[in-house]
Structure 1
Amino acid sequence: MTEIPLEHVHVAPDGDPDRAPAVFVLHGRGADEEDLLPVAESLPDDLHVISLRAPDRLQGGYTWYELDLSGGGLHESQPHAADFRRSLELIEESVTAATDAYGLDADRIGLLGFSQGAITSFSLLVEDPGSYDWVVGLHGYLPDSHADLASDGIEGKPVFVGAGTGDRVIPESRAEAAADRLAELGADVTYGTYATGHGIGREELADVVDFVEARLE
C-alpha cells in the first residue's frame, strides 16, 4: 500500500469500494481525525471517508498551522504562511496517495472541513479546483493568501459554505466574504447561516447531507 503522509482514519463504503467516490475530512484547530467522524457518518454510505490528522500537536489535539494575529487579534487572524503551505502540500500528497492506496475515483473527490479545516479546504480548491469535485467548508474563511488568486477551472464547482450567527471564533461575516469571493470566481456556492456558535448544529448538518447527496446523484 502506498504510504499516506498524514495519519488518518479510513471508513470504507458499504457497497463496492473499487473506484467509489470519496470525501477527505479536515478537522479544526485542537481537534483530531476522529472529531468530525459523527458528521461524516451522516453522509451517504457509498462514500469512502478519509479523515486526516493535522501535522502539529496542540494541547490535546492537533493543528494545521499556527495563527498570525498581527492583523488585530483572533477575529482578524490569518494562517502562519510557512505552516499553512506545509499543510496544504501534505494534504495534497495525502489525497494523491490515498487515491492510489484505497482505489478511489480520482474524479469524484470531495473535501469537508470545519474551522481551520474549512479555511484549508477553500484554499485547496482555489489553488487546484480540478482535483476536487465539491467542497463543504463550515465556519471558516478564505485567507488573504488566496482571496485574490485567480482560479482556472473553478467555474461551476459546487461549494457549500456554512456560518454561525453566534460564532465568536470565526464571525459570520468572514464566512460570508468567502462565499462571495468564491462566487465571484465562478463557483456554484450554497451559503447557509445558522443560529449556532462555533459548532455544527442539526440544521446545518442536515443541509450538508442534502448538499452531498445531490453531488452523488
Structure 2
Amino acid sequence: MTDIPLEHVHVAPDDGADSEPAPAVFVLHGRGADEEDLLPVAAELPDELHVVSLRAPDPLQGGYTWYELDLSAGGLESSQPDAEDFRRSLDLIVESVDAAVDAYGLDADRIGLLGFSQGAITSLSLLLEEPDRYAWVVALHGYLAASYASLDPDGIESKPVFVGAGAGDRVIPESRTTAAVDRLEDVGADVASGSFPGGHGIGPQELEAVVEFVAARAV
C-alpha cells in the first residue's frame, strides 16, 4: 500500500530493472467511469512510461466523478464544474502526483496528464494553475472551465498540449473544445488538435493521434 490519497492503478514501465527515475503519465477518467476505464488507451503509449490511473473521489452510477455539475447556465452542454468539488479534486490530484513521484520513483520533470471528458477539463485546469509541473497534457472531449478561461500563467508558453474533440459529440460539443484550443493558442501553448469521427468516446483515429503526440514528447 502507498500513501497516495486517491485510489489508483499503477503500471510500471516494461524495463523494470532500470533504477533511474522514469517519465510518467497520470490518467484522469471521465464522469461515471473509474481508474480502469482508460487503461486500454494508456496501454498504447510508449513502454517507457509509468502509468498512474487515478480514481475520482466521489461515487456515481457504478463509477466515480471528479465533481458535481453546475447546470445553472442551461443543460449538460452548458455545464460547469461545481466550484467546491472541483477545488477539492484538483488538490487531491496534485497531492497524489507528488506522493506517486516518491512512491514509484517517477521523474518529476517528465510528468504528463491524459484526461477524458471531466478528466480533460481537470487536466487543463491543472496545467493552467501550474504549467511548470507538467511536461505535456492530452485533453480529450473537454473544455476550459469558465473560472480558468482567463488565466495567462507564466510557463505556459510552448507547453505541448493535445486537444481532441468528437465531431458528433453531444455531451461536450466540439465548439466548446474548439474554444479551449483557441484560448490555449492565445496564451502561447504549443497546441495540436483534431476533430475525429464519432461522439463522446475515443475512436481509433483519435487514439492514433494521441499515441503519436505522446511518443514524440514523453520519452
The TM-score normalised by the length of structure 1 is 0.98
Q: What is the match of residue 7 of structure 1?
A: 7
Pairs within 5 Å for 1:5-154:
5-15=5-15, 16=18, 18-154=20-156
SS of the residue corresponding to residue 159 of structure 1 reads strand
Cα deviation 1:40-97 (Å, max 9, x = unaligned) = 0000101000000000000100000000000011110000000000000000000000
Give the AA of the match of 2:169. D
Q: What is the match of residue 176 of structure 1?
A: 178
2:180 maps to 1:167: no
Q: What is the match of residue 207 of structure 1?
A: 209
Q: CA deviation at 1:150?
A: 2.0
Q: CA deviation at 1:151?
A: 1.1
Q: CA deviation at 1:18?
A: 3.2
Cα deviation 1:106-163 (Å, max 9, x = unaligned) = 0000000000000000000000000000000000000101001121101000000000
Tell me if structure 2 keeps the 8 A contact 1:119–1:143: yes
Give the AA of the match of 2:8. H
Once residues 101 and 17 of structure 1 are traced to their aligned partners in structure 2, the CA distance between those partners, rounded to angstroms, is 13
Tell me if structure 2 keeps the 8 A contact 1:27–1:116: yes
Count of matched residue positions in the alignment of Structure 1 and Structure 2: 217
Tell me if structure 2 keeps the 8 A contact 1:139–1:198: yes
Q: CA deviation at 1:191?
A: 0.8
Once residues 79 and 9 of structure 1 are traced to their aligned partners in structure 2, the CA distance between those partners, rounded to angstroms, is 25
Once residues 10 and 181 of structure 2 are traced to their aligned partners in structure 1, the CA distance between those partners, rounded to angstroms, is 29
Once residues 164 and 59 of structure 1 are traced to their aligned partners in structure 2, the CA distance between those partners, rounded to angstroms, is 24
Cα deviation 1:161-202 (Å, max 9, x = unaligned) = 000010000000000100110111110000100011000000
Q: Percent of aligned positions with the same letter in both sequences?
A: 75
Report the RMSD for the aligned CA atoms in angstroms: 0.9
Once the two structures are overlaid, the 10-residue window that deviates more, 16-25 or 31-40, is 16-25
Q: CA deviation at 1:216?
A: 3.0
Tell me if structure 1 keeps the 8 A contact 2:138–2:163: yes
Give the AA of the match of 1:159. V
Structure 1: give runs of 5+ residues left out of the alignment: none
Q: 1:17 to 1:56 in 2, by over 3 A?
A: farther
Cα deviation 1:13-51 (Å, max 9, x = unaligned) = 012263000000000000000000000000010100000
Tell me if structure 2 keeps the 8 A contact 1:2–1:100: no
